[in-house]
Structure 1
């Protein structure tokens, strides 16, 4: 018996040493990674108002979810939940899974993503290229329970972004997206943002932004852009609403059928409801304007910004706005940026917010490209 106990203790020491090295590796990755850039979109006919994109596509794994995936791994490691041979499982419409696959490869861990069958093929290919495996499910509402089941049956670990996003990310610490935005905006003429605009998938990013602004005493207000089909804006208006039925949003990564534990409506100052077609049209418009492809969740964010800018202009207000460029549109060539896919969904350029043409006009050749 004494030998058995000693062997178990030796195994525990080996695992603990691996966990320590893994944590150090993640901390080193964070410390060495360059901060993502802040890009201004020059507005016309909006005196005293400036709009900036926080370009999270510049992360090594290509999206806003890089920060979240790192935090989820650190949360698990610091809680002693991951060992050198643990299967990592996550439920995701794509971008969190891509980032999780990136970090799993960094740590030499096997990774399995449970994704809706409607997920853009480009993201599935990225997950597989990073060494991950995808399990596709027909009903997007079941991805979380399916991921939990697989992790349980395989003695793996479920990252569980929808539950843990807000607690895994420390809103007080350096390195979170809110701290980065305020640090960068401090050097911008006009100063800290009047509005920060983001979407909500898990709710973790919105919660971090809202909490950090309050913690630091910033006056910035938080607007969350939410697809029409999502439950979040309904729950914001009426806390008794926790679920919606029917078709889900075509915008991958944001909007949910059920309120997630990481969604904290009390830190949000307003919700902007965005039709899927309007988000797609804004993504096309922005892609043409920037000369690079942007994803649909970024389009939803931009639509909400245009609504706020129009209101500020009408009231004679000035100030800076910041929103998030979540990921590249290259991940959505077969969906958002496929004209046939958009046509089949009934999305057209006419869905665009009229403020886009007013405040972010395209040159004629770019306008034709956006409408193509």
Structure 2
């Protein structure tokens, strides 16, 4: 039974709010495009959060959601099914509140990710297959009378999409003095579906004409689920782009707020982060490349249709986490990725404004 220590809960909420205040806002960078296009591309840099990724916002929201719903008390152990950035951020907040944290992770999780979770005081509980993470996390939480944070179910409901300094409100506030303050497109990936749900609900609530595009990597079920309308769509395959893509459509995914989905080749995602670093010096993870590759396609469509306006996407996390993988030529070759055609396609686009499909 969770202890309802009202004083402790009030102080825990205060600590979460203090962290948000210290973090201030994340930067909105401009990606250089030819001026004659009349289109501005912005990248909201979520890598500058204290734990280095977009998931810092999600972790804070999930724990705050548990606190205000009476599910987390001063002796509650926190458990999550995650081997990535969400677990890192949740471990950070658990330590802040003096709570134990356990991440249920596959045995193949990289040593770097395990070290980051443990750095913030979390511990890792291993399972043989990624598909076992959900049930094992729920079991561990039940066994210790703890709380399963369950990012894949609660992400879309834990975030206040109306405002409260969420990522959508932040973007529109930062764009207020720009020449196109209401973006034509917002482009995001889906790991839980929480970010796309927040943006999609917010633009409808604020009556903006902005459209939401979700980019999905290879192997992920979200694209197929959205296209077929099946909430039970599965691929059974793990995503090779960390932080986004899932083998099944997760409960937090809200297809009704999405205007378009694009399936992005994994090699294109990796080529895009290298181009980003060359063109801007920003060093980002693979999911940022997925965002950028999709944004370029939408901008090319705008140019073709004679549209002017702005497009916003995200830098989801920093590239230093992937120095030994996505940025390592030997690793890329070992995975069978050929980045050259995608690099050429993006360079051609940035020169001409035209996007060449692979078949052309």
State the Cα deviation string for residues 74-109 of structure 1 (Å, max 9, x = none): 110111111222211111231101110111111111
- The offset of 1:174, in angstroms, is 2.2
**1:232 aligned residue (193, 207, 222):** 222
Tell me: CA distance 1:240–1:359, structure 2 relative to 1, closer, same or farther (3 Å): closer
Deviation at 1:136, TM superposition (A): 3.2
Structure 2 residue 321 is matched with structure 1 residue 331: yes
Q: What SS does the corresponding residue of 2:209 show, helix, strand or coil?
A: coil
> Scaled by the length of structure 1, what TM-score is found?
0.90
Q: Helix, strand or coil: the match of 2:279?
A: helix
Residue 251, structure 1, aligned to residue 247, structure 2:
no
CA deviation after TM superposition for structure 1 residue 44, in Å: 2.8
CA pair 336-283 structure 1, distance change in 2 beyond 3 A = same
Count of residues paired in the alignment = 351
Say whether 1:18 aligns with 2:5: no
CA apart distance, 1:122? 2.3
Q: Is 1:158–2:148 an aligned residue pair?
A: yes
Q: Distance between the aligned counterparts of 1:91 and 1:172, measured in 2?
A: 27
Unaligned runs of 5+ residues in structure 1 are 1-7, 362-372
Contact 1:46/1:359, CA 8 A, preserved across alignment = no
* One of 273, 276, 281 as aligned partner of 1:286: 276
Q: Residues of 1 paired with 2:79 and 2:172: CA distance? A: 33
CA distance in structure 2 between the partners assigned to 1:309 and 1:354 by the alignment: 17
- Name the CA shift for 1:192/1:154 in 2 (closer, same or farther; >3 Å): same
Q: CA deviation at 1:269?
A: 0.4
* Correspondence for 1:348 among 318, 321, 338: 338
Once the two structures are overlaid, the 10-residue window that deviates more, 86-95 or 242-251, is: 242-251
User: 8 Å contact 1:111–1:133 — kept in the other structure?
Assistant: yes
8 Å contact from structure 2 (residues 234, 249) kept in 1? no
Tell me by how many angstroms 1:322 deviates: 0.3
- Long gaps (5+) in structure 2: 352-360
2:172/2:181 contact within 8 Å kept = no
CA RMSD of aligned residues (A): 1.9
Residue of structure 2 in register with 1:368 after alignment: none
* Structure 2 residue corresponding to 1:111, chosen from 88, 101, 104: 101
Partner in structure 1 of residue 208 of structure 2? 218
Q: Which has the larger radius of gyration?
A: 1
Aligned-pair distance for 1:29? 1.9
The residue aligned with 1:68 is 58
- Counterpart residue number, 1:261: 251
Task: Determine the C-alpha separation between the residues in 1 that align with 2:282 and 2:39.
Answer: 24
In the aligned structure 2, how far is the partner of 1:355 from the partner of 1:188?
A: 29
Could you list the runs of 4 or more consecutive aligned residues of structure 1 that deviate by over 4 angstroms after TM superposition?
none
- 3-state DSSP class of the match of 1:242? coil
SS of structure 1 residue aligned to 2:37 = coil
TM-score (norm 2): 0.92
C-alpha distance in 1 between matches for 2:268 and 2:52: 24
Paired with 1:239 and 1:259, the residues of 2 have a C-alpha distance of 11
Tell whether the 8 Å contact from 1:119 to 1:252 is kept in structure 2 after alignment: no
What is the deviation of 1:306? 1.0
Structure 1 residue 114 displacement after superposition? 1.5
* Conserved 8 A contact 2:3-2:74: no
Would you say the 8 A contact 2:221–2:235 is kept in 1?
Answer: no
Instruction: Please give the residue correspondences for 1:97-136 in structure 2 after superposition, counting only pairs within 5 Å.
Output: 97-136=87-126
